[in-house]
């Protein structure tokens, strides 16, 4: 079923984190229903809205990192492409920022 996808450790960790976040958000929503609030995002959002926006940003960050990997080798004179773990950590930090302040 998933034979078309390259299941490397970073990819598996990334999707596992997303699954855990969805389960955690479901439990959190059941225990404490959310209310809309206005943060630095230009719209009023709920926790679920901020999670969705944060996950989209995380996906874009990871895609951009992978897409620009070869260019970064040229730009910065690296010996090999930078690790995808860097983009994973960066995307999770952005997600946490959106969840907290968005």
Beta strands in the chain (DSSP E): none
pLDDT for the residue 27: 94
Interatomic CA distance for residues 40 and 19, integer angstroms: 26
Structural domain boundaries in the chain: 9-101
pLDDT for the residue 1: 58
Q: Smallest Cα–Cα separation from 22: which of 46, 51, 53, 45?
A: 51
Is pTM beyond 0.85 here? no
Q: Which residues pair with 84 in a beta bridge?
A: none
Tens-digit pLDDT string for the chain (102 aa)? 567 767 778 778 878 888 998 899 899 989 999 889 898 888 999 998 999 999 899 989 988 988 888 888 888 888 888 888 899 899 989 999 998 988
pLDDT for the residue 2: 62
Interatomic CA distance for residues 13 and 20, integer angstroms: 10
């Amino acid at each position: 079923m998933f034979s078309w996808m390259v299941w490397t450790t970073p990819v598996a960790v990334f999707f596992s984190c997303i699954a855990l976040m969805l389960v955690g958000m479901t439990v959190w929503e059941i225990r404490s229903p959310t209310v809309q609030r206005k943060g630095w995002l230009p719209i009023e959002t709920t926790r679920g809205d901020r999670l969705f926006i944060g996950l989209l940003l995380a996906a874009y960050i990871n895609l951009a990192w992978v897409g620009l990997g070869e260019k970064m080798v040229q730009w910065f004179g690296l010996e090999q492409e930078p690790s995808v773990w860097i983009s994973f950590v960066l995307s999770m930090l952005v997600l946490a920022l959106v969840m907290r302040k968005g």
